[in-house]
Amino acid sequence: MPVFSLDPEQNDWCARLRTLAAERLRPIAEKGEPGAVNRPLIGALGELGLLERLFGTGALELCLLRESLAQGCTEAETALALQGLGAYPLVLAGTGGQRARWLPEVRAGRAVAAFALSEPGAGSDAAALALRAVPDGEGWLLTGEKRWISNAPDADFYTVFARTDTAAGNRTGTGTGTGDGAGEGTGARGVTAFLVPADRPGLTGTPIEMLSPHPIGALAFDSVPVTGDDVLGEVDHGFRVAMRTLNLFRPSVGAFAVGMAQAALDAALEHTAERRAFGGPLSQLQSVAHQIAEMATRTEAARLLVYAAATAYDTGAPDVPRRSAMAKLFATETAQYVVDAAVQLHGARALQRGHPLEHLYREVRAPRIYEGATEVQRTIIARELYGSSRGVRERGQERERGQEPERGREPERGWER
């Protein structure tokens, strides 16, 4: 892949977004109730055209959008990302009627979307879904629970993934979510995506208090009725919709992390240049200067990994799963390191409630878990590497036997592509 750099127009756009986040969106975010959906903030994102841009963009532009907003207002970044995650399955697989009903409202910031995949027993192992869609006449009844659902229980509609083929769920198989689901493992088969409005009878929810006070909760499905008109995509192939959505958004989680790392680095640079101790500014202490240099280097490396993964997605490169996993892994771990180092350089003041770094310290932990935990990303990377090397070996062996390797063939794999 060629050396990557942003063009002047992209840099200018990012600068405008950072200013917009700090001056227009942060004051609205600060007025919101912790742990609840901030509808005025989502409305502002719609009025400013950012939600419209969210759905008409490629992976790189999505990353630039999330990184820039995160530097100025993490709440605005998160609100925008959750709208995208919840509604993107509708963009991918919705019918004309479904799109006409919901997408204009989402783009305008009048309707709140949510992505309901995780369950008490199905987090990193997303293919272990237990929410059942029991046949009932011409439709189904949803029974079970979802947990750790962002925007729940305040969303207006949910993209819900349920098991319509219980036999498929009982077969041996894994599903770490590395690709578009084209080669679905047996554990992922039999899952269907449904668009479920929040006012369906039998659907209830409760909020969950988290370390960082975002809107997140649990959903209970007590024979919630759905029909064929609510299906997103094909029956029994909903896991593909989930994986295609996550493949787009996974690199941009890294972009969110890079934005937080940059905000922490900027704060540390300013503080260490101005704070005097031991007869001079902290920046003159070699240990401090070296720490700043390490923080900056890791942040830039994470940024380039994110941009490379996003560009690979936009150009249809074959190694998107590996690049996306690397980007999310390295960027989220880097952000944790940089924010922690910035807190250390600031001392006790950074632990005071309301300090920007205190806020970032609580924000930075979750991205290492959601949309594929760090350990899952390492598993994906290793499997992609070993799978790729096995394919090369097999083609070489075929040539040694005088056989022409089959073009486009990939080795069989027991996880989601």
Does the CA dihedral 101-36-339-277 come out positive or negative?
Answer: positive
73-95: buried (b, 16+ CB within 10 Å) or exposed (e) per residue? bbbbbbbbbbbbbbbbbbbbbbb
What's the rounded Cα separation, in Å, for the pair 185 and 200? Answer: 31
List, in order, residues 6 or more apart from 279 with CB less than 8 Å away: none
What's the rounded Cα separation, in Å, for the pair 106 and 161? Answer: 20
Cα 293 versus chain centre, distance: 28
List, in order, residues 6 or more apart from 408 with CB less than 8 Å away: none
Does the CA dihedral 268-269-270-272 come out positive or negative?
Answer: positive
Does the CA dihedral 9-11-14-16 come out positive or negative?
Answer: negative
Q: Given the residues 363, 371, 384, 416, select the one marked as catalytic.
A: 371
Distances (CA, A) of 59 to 63, 161, 252, 310, 352: 6, 24, 7, 5, 36
What's the rounded Cα separation, in Å, for the pair 158 and 232? Answer: 11
Are the C-beta atoms of 399 and 392 separated by less than 8 Å?
Answer: no
Q: Where do the H-state alpha helices sit in 31-187?
A: 39-47, 50-55, 59-72, 74-93, 96-108, 166-170
Is 410 labeled as catalytic in the residue annotation?
Answer: no
Other CB atoms within a 10 A radius of the CB of residue 225 amount to: 16
Residue numbers annotated as active site = 371
